[in-house]
Each structure stands twice: as structure tokens, then as C-alpha cells.
Structure 1
Amino acid sequence: MGEVVRFIPKSDLERARLIREARAIYESIFPSADPVSEQRNPKQ
């Protein structure tokens, strides 16, 4: 049998790229493991 090829519109690819870039920028500004918040809220 033949393969199924899915065509993705260029606008969808661009949207996904922009979302990845925005997440990377956000993560660089607000890292997941935030040592400052851990100092404010010590674990008991």
C-alpha cells in the first residue's frame, strides 16, 4: 500500500515556530526551577 502524506499549510508551520520561539524566550526569563521561589517557600 502507499504512504499517506499530510500537507501542512505554511501558516501553521510558521505559527508553531513562533510558539516554540516564544516558549524558549519565556523559559530563559522565567526558568522552571526557580531558586528564588524555593528560598521564599522553604520545604517543610
Structure 2
Amino acid sequence: MWSHPNLPYSLTLSGKDGDNAGRYQEKDVRNALRDLQGLEEPENEGE
């Protein structure tokens, strides 16, 4: 289970440590990172 305090959802990544991720898992992680970046960008615009 992966979560971040700024995201309203968490991800469940199946498999064991060292296993290759499935394409759908790569897409889920990429989308979560994109969502997180989108949340952080507006805060940085005023600096």
C-alpha cells in the first residue's frame, strides 16, 4: 500500500519486493505522481 498525505487516495501495488511491476501499475504510479505534482505547482507559483 502506498499513500501520500496530500493525495486523497492510496495505491495498492501487488507483488513482492524486487518483482517487475505490471504496465497497469506503472501507469497508476505515474498518474499518482502527476496528481501530486499538480497539487504542489500552484503553491510554488507565488514564489
Q: TM-score, normalised by structure 1?
A: 0.50
Instruction: Decide which structure has greater strand share.
Output: 2
Instruction: Decide which structure has greater helix share.
Output: 1
Which structure ranks higher in relative contact order (CA pairs < 8 Å, sequence separation ≥ 6)?
2
Q: TM-score, normalised by structure 2?
A: 0.47
